[in-house]
Amino acid sequence: MDTERRKFIKKATLASTLGALGVNTLSKAKGKLNEIQEEEIDMALKAPVLITTNLTSPVWIKSIELLRKENNFICRVKSNDGAEGISVSNNMQMKDLYPIFIHRIQPFFIGKDARDWERLLDEVYVYQSNYKLQSLALWVPLATLEFAVLDLLGKLANKSIGEMLGKIHHPKIAVYQANNFRGKSAEESVDLIEAQVRSTGAKALKFKVGGRMSNNQDFPKGRTEALIPMVRDRFGPKMVIYADSNGSYTVEEAIRIGKIMEDYGYDFYEEPVPFDWYEETLKVTNAIKIPIAGGEQEPSMRNFRWLIKNDALDIVQPDIFYFGGMIRAMKVANMAATKGKTCTPHISGSGLGYLYMMHFVSALPNAGPYHEFKGFNHEIPLVNSSSSLNSVNGMVEVPTGPGLGITLAPAFIAAHKSVNA
């Protein structure tokens, strides 16, 4: 895999440099290199993402509605000139977090120019001391609004959401089939994984190891060590295979499991230790050859900066709901690009998450080769003429119409009622 090869070359080059330079000279050179890299990372962080150059007049936000039917939430934004943007939220989280949207997000943005979204992100962070909520509590409601605003701006600019973020690099997305069969035996798990892969034609897959933040526990016991070779044997040498521990291990156990994955040619190892064990993540990364991926749970831009600067992660995985939207996630990807790292975003499985992932990835210059896919949500009726939204041989076309590129059925929207408290 390219990332693994880059990782090896980087270590070999550094070792060669260490041998060629004296200690004092090396220390100064290393310090200067770190300084240059930090400057590049910070420039990437500060660089604007949202493209609004062809929107020459203000786009004043007139109204923001949160609509609900049972535990499903829709956000609808309207501008003063009558333009409208729609998003579907992450219902698994929003059912608990909607009061934050109503009281801490919605009031701030009324009357603001949507073209100033990036500046407004900084300001809403301080509004009512929202920075004290930095986590899912703030970022999921904010992402819900951002996706509706991007839909609105895209419609006004006659550009897809991806085009509002940058040049389209990936009009089609290669997916990896993600699954979660923890609790089932290795034998049952591999059969279920195979059935899912066959249904999408995916050329890559990801499965769960460990027990999820389980302090080295496995469910059932011995499943992981049996499953790692079993998956490779079942799918053969050409299948790209990722494994996700969801922070299951201590450093020592994470390295031991990673070494087994090395023996079977795995392509990345996700969250080997709990996500906020930053120094420990770095130890695992330095100890094994397989690229280490992470960032699904990370809420902090500065922590992502540390993980990237210190090479604690080889692959960054901001979740575009959990991290507060595509603009913030693109800044993470841009920082990663300065160090030659790829971005493979995590996406929550509910609502239209797969569509938001596709638009985000379409504009990623440093996108990984395969992206997370948990299936299409056929419970949400929509019209889309530019993509079948089907996986054909593991590839899905990104919708190309303005904004999100799809239209939700009016009756579906009408069935949702306004949330006021």
Chain center to CA of 134: 17
- Does residue 341 carry a pLDDT above 80? yes
pLDDT at 34: 81
- The arithmetic mean of pLDDT across residues 253-281, rounded, is 98
Look up residue 12 and give its amino acid.
A
pLDDT at 75: 98
Task: Give the CATH number for residue 356.
Answer: 3.20.20.120
On whether residue 391 sits in a domain, the answer given is yes
pLDDT at 386: 84
**Pair (103, 231) in one structural domain:** no
- Does residue 28 carry a pLDDT above 70? no
On whether residue 39 sits in a domain, the answer given is no
**Pair (190, 298) in one structural domain:** yes
pLDDT at 420: 86
**Pair (147, 169) in one structural domain:** no
On whether residue 242 sits in a domain, the answer given is yes
**Pair (221, 269) in one structural domain:** yes
| pTM, to two decimals | 0.93
Chain center to CA of 208: 17
Nearest-5° angle of CA 189, CA 344, CA 223? 20
Q: How far apart are CA 168 and CA 184, in angstroms?
A: 40
- The arithmetic mean of pLDDT across residues 18-36, rounded, is 65
Spatial CA neighbour of 408 closest among 72, 74, 61, 70: 74
**Pair (334, 289) in one structural domain:** yes
On whether residue 351 sits in a domain, the answer given is yes
Give the chain's domain count: 2
Burial class (CB in 10 A: 0-12, 13-18, 19+), 56: exposed
**Pair (110, 65) in one structural domain:** yes
Asked if 251 and 213 touch (Cβ cutoff 8 Å), the reply is no
Residue 410, φ and ψ in degrees, nearest 5: -55, -40
**Pair (336, 193) in one structural domain:** yes
Q: How far apart are CA 275 and CA 270, in angstroms?
A: 10
Q: How far apart are CA 338 and CA 174, in angstroms?
A: 24
pLDDT at 24: 67
Task: Give the CATH number for residue 134.
Answer: 3.30.390.10
pLDDT at 409: 95
On whether residue 310 sits in a domain, the answer given is yes
Q: How far apart are CA 282 and CA 335, in angstroms?
A: 18
Range(s) of the domain holding residue 109? 61-158+411-418
**Pair (219, 167) in one structural domain:** yes
pLDDT at 376: 76
For 215, which DSSP code?
Answer: T
pLDDT at 384: 86
Segment 50-94, tens digit of pLDDT:
999 999 999 999 999 999 999 999 999 999 999 999 999 999 999
Spatial CA neighbour of 63 closest among 109, 120, 113: 109
On whether residue 356 sits in a domain, the answer given is yes
Look up residue 138 and give its amino acid.
L
- Does residue 287 carry a pLDDT above 50? yes
pLDDT at 302: 97
Report which of residues 156 and 180 the model is more confident about.
156
Mean confidence (pLDDT) of the chain: 93
Segment 354-387, tens digit of pLDDT:
899 999 999 999 999 999 987 777 889 998 888 8
Report which of residues 218 and 25 the model is more confident about.
218
**Pair (119, 216) in one structural domain:** no
Report which of residues 20 and 135 the model is more confident about.
135
**Pair (255, 137) in one structural domain:** no
On whether residue 69 sits in a domain, the answer given is yes
**Pair (206, 151) in one structural domain:** no
Instruction: Compute the Cα dihedral for 48, 296, 286, 367 and give only its sign.
Output: negative
- Does residue 227 carry a pLDDT above 80? yes
On whether residue 33 sits in a domain, the answer given is no
**Pair (260, 177) in one structural domain:** yes
Query: What's the pLDDT band for 18 if we cut at 50, 70, 90?
Result: very low
Asked if 179 and 376 touch (Cβ cutoff 8 Å), the reply is no
Residue 206 tokens read as: 């990801």
Q: How many helices (H) and strands (E) does the chain have?
A: 15, 15
- Does residue 8 carry a pLDDT above 60? no
pLDDT at 10: 56
